[in-house]
């Protein structure tokens, strides 16, 4: 039975997502304009979140006229969230970039490309390969990401490139690599349905992944659903238990649970013995996390801690752990993600239906970026520093090995720091809007304004970053170009071109090809001639890696089979049956990707977050998603009239009523939110969904990151967006 999650949220005053999921017609969605009748249907994958829903695009004379969710796609079975339903309408917006803009003035492509190449070449020639960088995205097709990475690094000779996935998935990548030996999220969405206990930690899928939440609602095992989140969220209201943890105390909680599981006999000794390393040391370390200490550090009572560990122990027998940005964005994020992995390993909850230590990805192609963006890793999850890997990739791509750099790029924050120091002089942003979304925004914008050359390649010319750019390259968006995405469960899906891009906007793929031509490295990338040709090159790059996809017979197989989860080796392909291979998880044989095939227990002592409350800044500000109708910096979702109706009219700070009394603030009143870095004025919503001393702002307002404190996990270099000290002042 499907129930409506948002409706259980009594204090929720916004639009009801669930209404739209269940009754789209009420909102005028999915209806064919009366003067048009579709003559064909194309199958696509949604280009917003990492759920990767299948959409049917209805065509008239080869052009899209509307869409409906695909009932046959093994991800969403006919449902879509508001963003998916509105994916076509956001393409028609008056601020679409239709011409290249040079210093804000329209120019033709020839002028733009010459200007791009002249400036990049001058900077690289004068200052060396580290002087220019690209920053890409989890939101274009992975064939395009790979072409960008190959063009910039192998063709143009740039050393540094990273992406917005640093803001998002870097922690999960670092955690999995060290614990499992490869960046390998093990789950499949069927695990939502096959679990007895689902533990969501720092994740709010009712808002951020609504169709994954629909999969949870299909679970027929009467599961215990546990949400660990400092706030009372839509997801926690729909769960069976909510643990309103003190912000950023997850590490203590997770070690405390390990302590209790060991104490109360909840281990799976056979699994630990056969498939892991380092448990003895971890057990000795966890002995220091007795419930008294953990209760004091997390704000959760000893009774509730014991209940939680008992629930995991008696998981009847399947327990799955799911995490997102509440974990990935933190000052000790990698160790926290690994503390979740440790719980799954010690209880043997991995590689079986309904189990796993499962990081949910964010953007439609975050997973594609992790494997194929050629930024942190060499194409296909390889290591730039490894000479054998460079040889292999040279062979697979036809690029001479001496053009492949022997060192990885700087991380995003290090590139920005280098720009501040003046060693990076040019940055090329593709499909990301960091003047809004990067942490400590005033500082970021100050540094961006110092650059000799700032290029933005985007669908819209009005983004905060595009407004600061010397050169804007107009890009086609989802639906206006073809290629593949990889969703959270490692499923590769294909998305076709179903309409023309406006004006002179071009697919990122074509922009990269043109730049290669103008730069003079077109011949080097000769084989990278179409998205599908690049797909074949990337298949070769994946050979013998955990993400081996050499068994896929081109786009046709991806389209016909409802997507293909990686890996699919040539051997596996001989037995591939689309019907019986709809859901696959990793580690069913207990063999991991480390050199001895054992998973590793990794741990470290918890430390206090770098920015603490003080008398001057007494509140903790958390940030994250607002509603299911809003996407990040709202360049796309802000353009739909329907989504606009589902979005609060203005920014609202969630504040506890007890704090409002002390501050003398009314519900709906205005306050100033002040940090050491900046301030903004906002309306207040009084709600006990936040605890006293804690406040929340959605990230979609362009001012919010003026407040956020820039601290970074040392292993993943992912920013911590969810812990800043603020002061609240009444404005009257
Ligand atoms: N509608 C919509 N959906 C989206 C997106 C969007 O912009 N809009 N973005 C997509 C992307 S790229 C991503 S990465 C995902 C993000 O998906 P989520 O991670 O689910 O979303 P967030 O709201 O950023 O954060 C999740 C929760 O972490 C909690 N949290 C904050 N601090 C802590 C803490 O210290 N500990 C714990 N345990 N929890 C904490 C917050 O209260 C919040 O409810 O969403 C994807 N889906
Ligand atoms: N305070 C706070 N800040 C956060 C977060 C948080 O929780 N709190 N979360 C962080 C996370 S997890 C993420 S992922 C980031 C997201 O941050 P951003 O990546 O900056 O967010 P988007 O708005 O998705 O930006 C994508 C840009 O690409 C453009 N675009 C879309 N499709 C295409 C295309 O096909 N081609 C081209 N060339 N352009 C295209 C869009 O118009 C948009 O300008 O934000 C981070 N920032
Ligand atoms: S849940 Fe994600 S993939 Fe599915 S329709 Fe919504 S935004 Fe698109
Ligand atoms: Mo993200």
Distance 81 CA to ligand 3 centre (A): 5
Question: What's the pLDDT score for residue 23?
Answer: 64
Peptide bond connecting 419 to the previous residue in cis, omega within 30 degrees of 0: no
Q: Which of 325, 327, 607 to mutate to test the pocket of ligand 1 (most atoms within 8 A of CB)?
A: 325
Distance 356 CA to ligand 3 centre (A): 23
Domains of the chain in sequence order? 101-168+365-573 (3.40.50.740), 170-359 (3.40.228.10), 619-730 (2.40.40.20)
Question: What's the pLDDT score for residue 399?
Answer: 97
Q: Which ligand is nearest to the CA of 69?
A: 3
Residues 6+ apart with CB under 8 A from 292: 302
Decide if 476 contacts 458 (C-beta within 8 A): no
Residues 6+ apart with CB under 8 A from 138: 50, 163, 164, 165, 168, 169, 361, 362, 363, 364, 365, 366, 367, 368, 369
Distance 167 CA to ligand 1 centre (A): 12
Tokens 């999969």 appear where?
215
CA distance 436 to 455: 16
Decide if 212 contacts 372 (C-beta within 8 A): no
Q: How far is CA 297 from the centre of its chain?
A: 29
Q: Which of 29, 44, 45, 46 to mutate to test the pocket of ligand 3 (most atoms within 8 A of CB)?
A: 46
Closest ligand 2 atom to 169 CA:
12
Q: Which ligand is nearest to the CA of 206?
A: 1
Q: Does the C-beta of 139 come closer than 6 Å to ligand 2?
A: yes
Q: Which of 6, 18, 45, 53 to mutate to test the pocket of ligand 3 (most atoms within 8 A of CB)?
A: 53
Closest ligand 2 atom to 137 CA:
19
Residues with CB under 6 A from ligand 1: 49, 168, 201-204, 207-209, 228-231, 233, 245, 247-248, 250, 324-326, 362-363, 622, 624-625, 628, 630-632, 722
Can you state the angle between helices 531-542 and 387-397, rounded to 10 degrees? 150
Q: Which of 335, 699, 722, 723 to mutate to test the pocket of ligand 1 (most atoms within 8 A of CB)?
A: 722
Q: Which of 208, 321, 337, 723 to mutate to test the pocket of ligand 1 (most atoms within 8 A of CB)?
A: 208
Residues 6+ apart with CB under 8 A from 196: 221, 223, 224, 315, 316, 317, 318, 319, 354
Distance 321 CA to ligand 1 centre (A): 15
Question: What's the pLDDT score for residue 117?
Answer: 98
Closest ligand 1 atom to 696 CA:
42
Protein residue closest via CA to atom 37 of ligand 1: 202
Distance 605 CA to ligand 4 centre (A): 27
Closest ligand 2 atom to 141 CA:
35
pLDDT by 10-residue block (mean), the chain, 732 residues: 32 45 65 75 97 96 93 95 96 97 98 98 98 98 98 98 97 98 98 98 97 96 97 96 98 98 97 98 98 98 98 90 98 98 98 98 97 97 98 97 96 98 98 98 98 98 98 98 98 97 97 97 96 98 98 95 95 85 93 98 98 98 97 97 93 98 96 98 97 98 98 98 97 82
Distances (CA, A) of 463 to 44, 95, 469, 636, 637: 26, 9, 10, 10, 13
- Beta pairing class for 670-674 and 652-655: unpaired
Structure tokens at 466: 């595009």
In 3D space, the residue among 580, 482, 628, 629 whose CA is nearest the CA of residue 74 turns out to be 580
Closest ligand 2 atom to 140 CA:
35
Distance 373 CA to ligand 1 centre (A): 23
CA dihedral 20, 627, 138, 553 (to 10 degrees): -20
Structure tokens at 105: 């003035």
DSSP string, 357-402: EEE---BTTHHHHHHHSSSSSBTTTB-TT-HHHHHHHHHHHT--GG
Q: Does the C-beta of 430 come closer than 6 Å to ligand 2?
A: yes
Q: pTM (2 decimals)?
A: 0.96
Distance 310 CA to ligand 1 centre (A): 27
Closest ligand 2 atom to 434 CA:
20
Closest ligand 1 atom to 247 CA:
35
- Beta pairing class for 483-486 and 619-624: unpaired
Q: Which of 199, 254, 324 to mutate to test the pocket of ligand 1 (most atoms within 8 A of CB)?
A: 324
Question: What's the pLDDT score for residue 39?
Answer: 85
Distance 379 CA to ligand 1 centre (A): 28
Distance 274 CA to ligand 3 centre (A): 39
Q: Does the C-beta of 435 come closer than 6 Å to ligand 2?
A: no
Protein residue closest via CA to atom 4 of ligand 3: 53
């Amino acid at each position: 039975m499907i129930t409506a999650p948002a409706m259980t949220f009594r204090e929720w005053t916004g639009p009801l997502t669930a209404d739209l999921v269940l009754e789209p017609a009420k909102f005028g969605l999915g209806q064919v304009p009366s003067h048009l009748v579709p003559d064909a249907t194309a199958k696509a994958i949604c280009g917003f979140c990492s759920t990767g829903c299948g959409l049917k695009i209805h065509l008239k004379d080869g052009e899209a006229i509307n869409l409906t969710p695909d009932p046959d796609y093994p991800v969403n079975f006919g449902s879509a969230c508001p963003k998916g339903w509105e994916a076509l309408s956001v393409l028609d917006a008056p601020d679409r970039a239709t011409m290249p803009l040079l210093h804000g003035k329209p120019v033709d492509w020839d002028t733009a490309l010459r200007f791009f190449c002249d400036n990049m070449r001058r900077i690289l020639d004068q200052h060396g390969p580290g002087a220019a960088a690209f920053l890409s995205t989890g939101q274009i097709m992975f064939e395009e990401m790979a072409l960008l990475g190959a063009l910039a690094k192998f063709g143009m000779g740039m050393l540094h490139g990273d992406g917005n996935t640093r803001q998002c998935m870097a922690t999960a990548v670092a955690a999995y690599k060290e614990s499992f030996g490869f960046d390998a999220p093990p789950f499949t969405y069927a695990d939502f349905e096959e679990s007895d206990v689902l533990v969501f930690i720092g994740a709010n899928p009712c808002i951020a992944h609504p169709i994954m939440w629909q999969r949870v609602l299909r679970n027929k095992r009467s599961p215990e659903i546990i949400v660990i989140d400092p706030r009372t969220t839509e997801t926690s209201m729909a769960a069976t238990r909510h643990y309103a943890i003190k912000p950023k105390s997850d590490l203590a909680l997770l070690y405390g649970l390990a302590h209790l599981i060991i104490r109360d006999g909840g281990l799976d000794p056979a699994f630990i013995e056969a498939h892991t390393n380092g448990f003895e040391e971890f057990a000795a370390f966890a002995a220091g996390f007795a419930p008294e200490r953990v209760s004091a550090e997390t704000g959760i009572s000893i009774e509730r801690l014991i209940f939680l560990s008992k629930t995991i122990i008696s998981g009847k027998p399947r327990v799955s752990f799911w995490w997102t940005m509440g974990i990935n964005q933190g000052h000790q994020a990698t160790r926290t993600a690994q503390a979740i992995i440790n719980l799954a390993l010690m209880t043997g909850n991995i590689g079986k239906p309904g189990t796993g230590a499962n990081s949910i990805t964010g953007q439609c192609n975050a997973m594609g970026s992790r494997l194929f963006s050629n930024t942190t890793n060499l194409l296909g999850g390889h290591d730039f520093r490894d000479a054998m890997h460079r040889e292999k990739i040279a062979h697979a791509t036809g690029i001479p090995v001496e053009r492949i750099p022997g060192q990885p790029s700087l991380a995003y924050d290090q590139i920005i720091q280098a720009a501040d120091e003046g060693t990076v002089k040019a940055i090329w942003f593709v499909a990301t809007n960091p003047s809004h979304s990067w942490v400590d925004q005033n500082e970021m914008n100050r540094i961006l304004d110092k650059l000799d050359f700032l290029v933005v390649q985007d669908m819209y010319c009005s983004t905060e970053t595009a407004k600061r750019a010397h050169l804007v390259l107009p890009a086609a968006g989802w639906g206006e170009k073809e290629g593949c995405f990889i969703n959270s469960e490692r499923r590769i899906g294909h998305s076709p071109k179903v309409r023309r891009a406006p004006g002179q906007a071009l697919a990122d793929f074509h922009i990269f090809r043109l730049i290669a031509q103008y730069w003079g490295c077109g011949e080097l990338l000769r084989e990278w001639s179409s998205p599908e040709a690049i797909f074949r090159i990337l298949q070769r790059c994946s050979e013998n890696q955990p993400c081996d996809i050499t068994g896929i017979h081109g786009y046709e197989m991806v389209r016909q089979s409802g997507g293909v989860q990686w890996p699919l080796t040539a051997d596996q392909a001989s037995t591939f049956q689309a019907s019986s291979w709809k859901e696959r998880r990793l580690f069913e044989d207990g063999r991991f990707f480390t050199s001895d095939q054992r998973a590793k227990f990794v741990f470290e002592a918890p430390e206090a977050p770098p920015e603490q409350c003080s008398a001057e800044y007494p509140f903790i500000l958390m940030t994250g998603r607002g509603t299911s109708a809003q996407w990040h910096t709202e360049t796309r979702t802000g353009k739909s009239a329907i989504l606009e109706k589902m979005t609060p009219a203005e920014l609202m700070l969630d504040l506890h009523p007890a704090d409002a009394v002390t501050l003398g603030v009314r519900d709906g009143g205005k306050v100033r939110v002040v940090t050491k870095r900046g301030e903004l004025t906002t309306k207040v919503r009084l709600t006990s969904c936040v605890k006293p001393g804690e406040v929340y702002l959605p990230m979609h307002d362009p001012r919010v990151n003026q407040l956020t404190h820039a601290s970074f996990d040392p292993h993943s270099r992912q920013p911590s967006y969810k812990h800043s000290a603020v002061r609240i002042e009444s404005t009257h």
